[in-house]
Amino acid sequence: MDLTYWKNLFTEQKLLSIEIDELICGYSGLVRTSAGKEYTGIDLRGIRRVAAEAGISVRESEIAALRLDIIPVRYFRNIASLGAVGQARLLSSSVSVVGAGGLGGLVIELLARLGIGKITIIDGDRFAEDNLNRQVLCREDDLDRLKAEVGEQRVRAINSAIEVTSHPIFLTEENAVELLSDSQVVVDALDRISIRIVLEKVIGKLGIPMVHGAIGGFLGQVATIMPGSNILSDLYGGDAAASARGIETVLGTPTVTPAVIASMEVMEVIKFLLDRGTPLKDEFLYLELENAIFSRINLGR
């Protein structure tokens, strides 16, 4: 076990402690899965006990366990793909989601289950009836509630290890830098174009990437946009006729498309945070769901 790596992974020296290790070992045990696999794991009750007795957060307990190769049971199904180190890294990461609607609700749900340590939700909107076809955070009982608040509640209910903050306000050029300054990457889950262009400018100031996603009918696009990019302002600002609008104004935003794009956006987050796979850097994946055609469109130049 490479201690240097772990010392660098989190600056919380307090987590590198014999006492915490002993607590974790005390509450962990051999777990047998229904498929007949065995691993050393620690369940939710155990993790909470460690946190309470060590005076650390649930998130910190989970990171400490993973360092010992002891798997919090809730992440077991992630581990074969992510590794204990990868999972710990995600628990040490901070991601913002701008928008908690069609794309955002799903992104938030997935980031919570994935185990992203800090999630910031920004959305000033309230749920309306025509959101019900696609916005997973919205049940009939949630109509008129603030989306960001429902999102925060949902994250807490799914994964109490996550430190979640919600801002029930709209992102603007004036507030963006402050709202996003704590994040390593921001996910675009917006529903209109003008603010996306603002977000692209802001990430340039912050030096962090944004994962862009958008839908219209059964069409969708996803890309990781690097700071300093002008792709979005070219796409929507450049040549567009003054009367141009997104095709979603014609095709609507049906149920299925947000789910596909949101999942792809979270996959881009994973690739970026764990430095693996082939990120769609300044490259669109353009999805035409009806004909199952997926095209890579290089927009980098």
Partner 1 sequence: MKIQVHLYGAFRSAAPSPSFSREAVEGMTVKELMESLHLPDTVYRMALVNDIRVKEGTILRDGDEVHIFQPVGGG
Task: Kindly state whether residue 231 participates in binding partner 1, applying the rule CB under 8 A.
Answer: yes
Task: Kindly state whether residue 240 participates in binding partner 1, applying the rule CB under 8 A.
Answer: yes
Q: Confirm if 228 and 73 have CB atoms less than 8 A apart.
A: no
Task: Kindly state whether residue 96 participates in binding partner 1, applying the rule CB under 8 A.
Answer: no
73-92 mask for partner 1 (x: CB under 8 A)? --------------------
Q: Which helix (H) or strand (E) segment is 71 a member of?
A: strand 71-72
Token couple for 29: 């045990």
Strand bridging mode 71-72 / 94-98: unpaired
Q: Which one of 46, 168, 209, 213 is in contact with partner 1 (CB under 8 A)?
A: 213
- Range in contact with partner 1 (rule: CB under 8 A) among 23-31, 72-80, 243-251, 267-275: 243-251
Task: Kindly state whether residue 258 participates in binding partner 1, applying the rule CB under 8 A.
Answer: yes
Token couple for 53: 């007795």
> Alpha-carbon distance 299 to 192, whole Å?
20
Task: Kindly state whether residue 216 participates in binding partner 1, applying the rule CB under 8 A.
Answer: yes
Task: Kindly state whether residue 127 participates in binding partner 1, applying the rule CB under 8 A.
Answer: no
DSSP 28-58: -EEEE-TTS-EEEEE-HHHHHHHHHHHT--H
Q: Which of residues 83 and 227 has its CB atom nearest to partner 1 in the complex? A: 227
Q: Confirm if 166 and 151 have CB atoms less than 8 A apart.
A: yes
Residues found near partner 1 in the complex (CB under 8 A): 99, 101-104, 188-193, 196, 213-217, 219-221, 231, 234-236, 238-241, 243-253, 258, 284, 286, 288, 295, 297-299, 301
